Amino acid sequence: MNLNQTDYCHRFSCPERSVSTVIYVLSYVSAAAVVFLTVCGNLLIIISVCHFKQLHTPTNMLILSLAVSDCLVGVFVIPTALIWMIESCWVFTAFYRICFTFISYFLTTMSIFNVALIAVDRYFALSKPFMYNKTLSLSTMCIEVLSIWTVLFFYNIALQHFNGTFGSLVTCPGYNFFIWSLVDLLLTFVIPLSVIITLYVFVFFIAKKHATAIRDLNSHTRTQTSKNMTDSMKSERKAAKVLGILVSVFVACLLPYFVYSVLGNVIEIEEKSLQKVLMLVYLNSAINPVIYALFYPWFRRSVKLILTLQILSTDSTGNLDEEFLRPKAITVYYKN
């Protein structure tokens, strides 16, 4: 984008308010509702996974990591982005702009890699179930998640350093916003998205193969074992479907931004467009808890226990009913 620093800051100067007071107030009420939904929805996921022992599984540690990053987006990123959009200008200080840029990049990148790790986890669990249960413990997954957080933290420090964010104290966001966009596009979107799509294609074929094996087994026997196997596979297919929806929504929210970041290097795009694609990225953090509430029975059950304060009772860490948790572990059966 061929704009010098003065021109760019001028684009972010505050114009006179062009909407009525009622619309202005409603905008802030709506913004508060979005922030509330994002923070509280993800807090419910965090409390659920941390409190109930039955939910202490490797896969749920990834869901916990995603919820933490989404919750932090709701606390530190979405309020600022919504104020920027409503006011049509940057009303904060230059130092806060630097902090906002770093935090938003870091948390968004973390969300992307969390979804990619979930895809890897599902593929490993379905393709090598016995090795998965034997080698991937809860502590191992926690170490992996903490390692990803650490690596991405320093990656984003380096990205913002070479992008000139830390050295620029202009009071408007976005100067040098598109520098290194192609590098960032490759490392934080193209590669993770390729991994996600590739692994979910493999998961689809593996699940289809297992379903065929289960049908063949059921055609020869109707024992309780075969029924348990069928129930297990139905649960796994449902889990894969839910995660597929999660990934699809995630890609739909992020794709416009990365297209924008590439096009922004060659053509001039309006500031309003920047705000819209950024908000679409951030709103993904508010959508994820809704997906869990719609498709995960354990989440609905745990939310009920939390909101009714039953988690304050003695031994409440084991209060989730078994019917909401089956199967407890990934179990995949092969036809001999």
What are the C-alpha distances in Å from 253 to residues 21, 137, 148, 211, 286?
A: 31, 32, 22, 32, 11
In single-letter form, the type of residue at position 293 comes to A
For residue 173, the model assigns a pLDDT of 45
Per-residue pLDDT reduced to its tens digit, 214-262: 666 656 555 555 455 555 555 556 666 666 777 778 778 878 877 777 6
| Rounded Cα distance, 109 and 107, in Å | 5
- Choose the CATH number for 5-324 among 3.30.450.80, 3.10.129.10, 3.40.50.2300, 1.20.1070.10: 1.20.1070.10
221, burial (CB in 10 Å: exposed 0-12, middle 13-18, buried 19+): exposed
Per-residue pLDDT reduced to its tens digit, 305-328: 888 888 877 666 666 655 445 443
Q: What is the domain partition of the chain in residue ranges?
A: 5-324
| Rounded Cα distance, 246 and 156, in Å | 25
Separation of CA 105 from chain center: 13
Structure tokens at 293: 């509430």
Helix (H, G, I), strand (E, B) or coil at 164: coil
Residue pair 277/256 in contact by the 8 Å Cβ criterion: yes
Instruction: Name the DSSP letter for residue 330.
Output: -
More confident residue, 224 or 30: 30
What are the C-alpha distances in Å from 111 to residues 35, 195, 319?
A: 17, 15, 30
Q: What is the mean pLDDT of residues 274-281?
A: 81
Average pLDDT, the chain: 75
Structure confidence at residue 14 as a pLDDT band (50, 70, 90): low
Comparing CA positions, the residue from 245, 252, 260, 257 lying closest to residue 294 is: 245
Burial pattern 5-19, b for ≥16 Cβ within 10 A else e, equals eeebbeebeeeeeee
pLDDT of residue 189 exceeding 90, the answer is: no
